[in-house]
């Protein structure tokens, strides 16, 4: 029962942060009732999805310091599991999602066991490689539709909660918002768990961690598996939300980099960092990116912009936007 | 009773012999000092005992169990803790959370881990720093946190690698008193390496001297410092010769 208590214990957070979080939550709950464009709604759903992707990345990349640039492979496994099960065997979302998470976690053990023998940049590069290999395999695998991907057929009657098929986007919005809340509470529990503390000790210094009886290799694998569960869960949601999935949009390197970048921009190793990062980058990607690529005629400019952001963050404040907030708070004391 | 038994330990790095056939024992209620000039192989020997290095030959027995082939984290779980020469301050964890990482070795409960951590910090006189970040503490206090973290794992034997390095005279006196209390009140056996000879001499029941990876002397602190081999190792042949001439004259 202590695990449940830990998950709901926000006592170690500054009051101001909790107030801000409550305000943000009130806004998020209320948003669909406010006047908004359908593009705005789509942007908000993407923001929530990327917040969860980023939280998954942050679990191993931020708390554990293991920079992973292959998260998209787990998005793909989640999305494809749900799509295949729905199309072939008519399995509802709420059953295929946990199956997708389990398959992704299983794959993460297979990947994690050898890859965590590597450190730093070597680990990051290896995660890119495994993700790309999996994507290539999916592109030639006919069972999952090859490069054309899969299309989930509509089930006539809507709203359909079982198969997560809705005509209005605000249904999807509340489903993913609910997932975010569950994810946040679980993350808070993780922060307070033995593994959570041990992982931060590993990030600090592996030799010291080992001298304190921590099986560093196994701890990383466990945390990686938890991170994977987050990402695969949203991958399953992605399949239902888009109706259409293909290797290029669920398993690409672009997606992996975007996930990592949002978490780093917001603040790796902090609870709110990934959400802050997604709140900045998703609207920027959708509005500024599409304006630059469309009317302004600078297609691909948004990618250059991301690069610039990463360089500024790396040079000025490696702990991201949340790091800037922390630094200001420390100065005021 | 013997707690740690080091048998003919040899450690070679390529052609370099860092430890050669070193044997000694540490008793359950002993404080043993390991001294020697720079490069004598003290830290390597520590790493061999703690399972961080695999031995080239020889064996290490701890608490009746052969730990020669075990990994460092497995050795730690048996109750052999250590501190490091170079200590890295954490950016992410508060002081008490750092110490909790030590107590988490014996419990998975956050509440219990916190209680043990606070108790150990109280014992070491650093309870007031619990809520601070490591990076905000002075070096002497950071070393105490490292000690607290090791102690929180409830060890039987504590290996201390140059705990006195970088401390001033009064800080060293405080540390000596602290280590005596750790040994006396908590019943932890200590094995320490030190450049600060004064500290080793005051603390140790027995001193082992290494030079070029070999054990050249062992005995009570007062006797060891008079051993001509030890004097030669520390001060060189010239000094020994001159001392002899003076004695003759």
Does A215 sit within 8 Å of B72, measured CB to CB? Answer: no
> In the prediction, which pLDDT does B112 show?
94
- Cα separation, B104 vs A194, whole angstroms: 6
Contact between B210 and B216 under an 8 Å Cβ cutoff? The reply is yes
- Cα separation, B202 vs B190, whole angstroms: 13
Does A201 sit within 8 Å of B52, measured CB to CB? Answer: no
Question: Which of B73, B74, B103, B112 to mutate: most A Cβ within 10 Å?
Answer: B73
- Cα separation, B222 vs B200, whole angstroms: 11
Look-up of token digits 């709203």: A159
Looking at the fold, whether B143 and B223 belong to one and the same domain comes out as no
Q: Say if A6 is an interface residue toward chain B (CB within 8 Å).
A: yes
pLDDT band at B249 (very low <50, low <70, confident <90, very high): very low
Query: Looking at the domain assignment, is residue B84 inside a domain?
Result: no
Contact between A203 and B92 under an 8 Å Cβ cutoff? The reply is yes
If you measure CA to CA, which chain B residue comes closest to A217? B73
Does B73 sit within 8 Å of A211, measured CB to CB? Answer: yes
> In the prediction, which pLDDT does A321 show?
87
Buried b (16+ CB within 10 A) or exposed e, A187-223: bbbbbbbbbbbbbbbbbbbbbbbbbbbbbbbebbbbb
DSSP 8-state symbol, B93: S
Residue B200, domain CATH: 3.40.50.300
Looking at the fold, whether B114 and B237 belong to one and the same domain comes out as no
Looking at the fold, whether B96 and B207 belong to one and the same domain comes out as no
Looking at the fold, whether B102 and B65 belong to one and the same domain comes out as no
Domain closes at, from B154, B185, B210: B154
Over residues A232-247, the mean pLDDT reads 93
Distance from CA of A59 to the nearest CA of B (A): 14
- Cα separation, A56 vs B66, whole angstroms: 41
Looking at the fold, whether B162 and B145 belong to one and the same domain comes out as no
Question: Which of A213, A270, A323 to mutate: most B Cβ within 10 Å?
Answer: A213
Give the tokens for residue A266: 């917001």
Over residues B68-94, the mean pLDDT reads 84
Residues of A in contact with B153 (CB under 8 A): 212-213
- If one compares A234 and B130, the residue with the highest pLDDT of the two is A234
Looking at the fold, whether B208 and B229 belong to one and the same domain comes out as yes
Buried b (16+ CB within 10 A) or exposed e, B193-207: bbebeebbbbbbebb
Neighbours of A312 (CB within 10 A): 11
Give the range of the structural domain holding residue B11, as residue numbers without chain letter.
Answer: 2-79+155-248
Residue pLDDT, tens place only, A187-231? 999 999 999 999 999 998 899 999 999 999 999 999 999 999 999
Looking at the fold, whether B140 and B37 belong to one and the same domain comes out as no
User: Chain B, 89-148: which have a CB under 8 Å from a chain A CB?
Assistant: 90-93, 97-98, 100-102, 104-105, 108-111, 113
Distance from CA of B87 to the nearest CA of A (A): 9
Residues of A in contact with B110 (CB under 8 A): 2, 6, 192-194
Distance from CA of B229 to the nearest CA of A (A): 34
- Chain centroid to CA B49: 11
Looking at the fold, whether B145 and B185 belong to one and the same domain comes out as no
In chain B, the number of structural domains is: 2
Residue pLDDT, tens place only, A258-274? 999 999 999 888 999 99
Give the tokens for residue B53: 């290095």
Give the tokens for residue A243: 């109706």
> In the prediction, which pLDDT does B247 show?
63
Assess whether pLDDT exceeds 80 at residue A156.
Answer: no
Looking at the fold, whether B215 and B199 belong to one and the same domain comes out as yes
If you measure CA to CA, which chain B residue comes closest to A215? B73
Q: What is the ipTM of this complex?
A: 0.89
Distance from CA of B150 to the nearest CA of A (A): 7
A198, A200, A210: residue with CB nearest B92:
A200
Residue pLDDT, tens place only, A53-99? 999 999 999 999 899 999 999 999 999 999 999 999 989 999 999 99
Distance from CA of A196 to the nearest CA of B (A): 10
Start-end of H helices in B9-123: 42-49, 72-77, 95-103, 110-123
Q: Please, which residues bridge with residue B83 across strands? A: B160
Per domain, the residue ranges of chain A are: 2-32+39-252
User: Chain B, 63-82: which have a CB under 8 Å from a chain A CB?
Assistant: 71-74, 76-77, 81-82
Does B110 sit within 8 Å of A193, measured CB to CB? Answer: yes
pLDDT band at B138 (very low <50, low <70, confident <90, very high): confident
Residues of B in contact with A208 (CB under 8 A): 84, 88
* Rounded-to-10 torsion of CA A155, A156, A159, A165: 30
Looking at the fold, whether B70 and B189 belong to one and the same domain comes out as yes
Which contiguous run of DSSP H or E holds residue B210?
strand B206-211
Residues of A in contact with B131 (CB under 8 A): none
Residue B110 C-beta-side C-alpha neighbours within 13 Å: 19
DSSP 8-state symbol, B28: T
Looking at the fold, whether B239 and B118 belong to one and the same domain comes out as no
Percent of chain A past pLDDT 90, that is, above it, reads 59
B88, B97, B149: residue with CB nearest A212:
B149
Query: Looking at the domain assignment, is residue B49 inside a domain?
Result: yes
Query: Looking at the domain assignment, is residue B229 inside a domain?
Result: yes
Backbone φ and ψ of A38, nearest 5°: -70, -30
Contact between A253 and A73 under an 8 Å Cβ cutoff? The reply is no
Looking at the fold, whether B145 and B165 belong to one and the same domain comes out as no
Angstrom CA distances, A147 to A73, A157, A274, stand at 15, 30, 31
Q: Among B77, B32, B87, which residue's Cα sits nearest to residue B51?
A: B77
């Amino acid at each position: 029962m202590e695990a449940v208590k830990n998950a709901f214990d926000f006592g170690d957070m500054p009051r101001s942060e909790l107030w801000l979080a409550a305000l943000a939550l009130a806004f998020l709950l209320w948003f669909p009732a406010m006047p908004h464009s359908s593009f705005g709604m789509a942007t908000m759903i993407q923001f929530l999805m990327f917040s969860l992707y980023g939280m998954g990345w942050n679990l191993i990349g931020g708390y554990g310091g293991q920079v992973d640039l292959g998260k998209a492979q787990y998005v793909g496994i989640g999305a494809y599991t749900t799509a295949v099960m729905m199309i072939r065997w008519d399995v509802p979302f709420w059953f295929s999602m946990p199956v997708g998470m389990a398959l992704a976690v299983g794959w993460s053990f297979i990947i994690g066991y050898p890859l965590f023998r590597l450190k730093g940049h070597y680990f990051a590069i290896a995660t890119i490689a495994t993700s790309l290999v999996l994507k290539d395999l999916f592109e030639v695998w006919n069972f999952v539709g090859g490069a054309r991907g899969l299309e989930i057929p509509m089930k006539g009657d809507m709203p359909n909660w079982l198969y997560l098929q809705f005509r209005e986007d605000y249904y999807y919005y509340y489903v993913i918002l609910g997932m975010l809340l569950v994810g946040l509470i679980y993350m808070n529990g993780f922060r307070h768990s033995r593994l959570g503390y041990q992982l931060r000790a590993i990030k600090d210094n592996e030799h010291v961690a080992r001298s304190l009886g921590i099986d560093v290799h196994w701890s990383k694998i466990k945390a990686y598996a938890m991170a994977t569960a987050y990402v695969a869960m949203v991958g399953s949601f992605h399949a239902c939300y888009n109706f259409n999935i293909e290797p290029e949009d669920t398993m690409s390197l672009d997606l992996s980099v975007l996930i990592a970048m949002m978490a780093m921009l917001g603040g790796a190793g902090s609870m709110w960092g990934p959400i802050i990062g997604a709140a900045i980058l998703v609207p920027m990607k959708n509005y500024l990116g599409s304006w630059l690529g469309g009317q302004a005629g600078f297609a691909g400019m948004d990618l250059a912009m991301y690069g610039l952001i990463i360089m500024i963050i790396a040079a000025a404040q490696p702990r991201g936007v949340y790091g800037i907030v922390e630094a200001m708070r420390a100065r005021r004391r | 009773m013997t707690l740690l038994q080091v048998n003919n330990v040899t450690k070679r790095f390529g052609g370099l012999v860092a430890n050669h056939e070193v044997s000694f024992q540490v008793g359950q209620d002993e404080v043993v000092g390991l001294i020697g000039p720079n490069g004598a192989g003290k830290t390597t020997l520590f790493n061999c005992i703690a399972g961080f290095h695999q031995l080239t030959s020889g064996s290490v027995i701890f608490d009746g169990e052969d730990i020669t082939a075990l990994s460092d984290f497995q050795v730690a779980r048996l109750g052999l803790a250590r501190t490091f020469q170079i200590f890295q301050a954490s950016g992410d964890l508060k002081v008490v959370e750092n110490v909790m990482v030590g107590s988490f070795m014996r419990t998975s409960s956050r509440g219990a881990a916190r209680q043990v951590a606070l108790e150990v910090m109280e014992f070491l006189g650093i309870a007031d720093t619990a809520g601070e970040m490591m990076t905000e503490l002075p070096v002497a206090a950071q070393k105490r946190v490292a000690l607290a973290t090791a102690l929180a794992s409830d060890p039987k034997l504590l290996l201390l690698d140059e705990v006195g390095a970088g401390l001033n005279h009064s800080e060293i006196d405080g540390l000596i008193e602290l280590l005596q209390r750790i040994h006396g009140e908590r019943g932890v056996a200590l094995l320490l390496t030190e450049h600060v000879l004064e500290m080793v001499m005051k603390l140790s029941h027995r001193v082992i001297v290494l030079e070029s990876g070999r054990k050249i002397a062992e005995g009570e602190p007062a006797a060891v410092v008079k051993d001509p081999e030890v004097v030669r190792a520390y001060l060189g042949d010239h000094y020994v010769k001159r001392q002899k001439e003076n004695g003759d004259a």
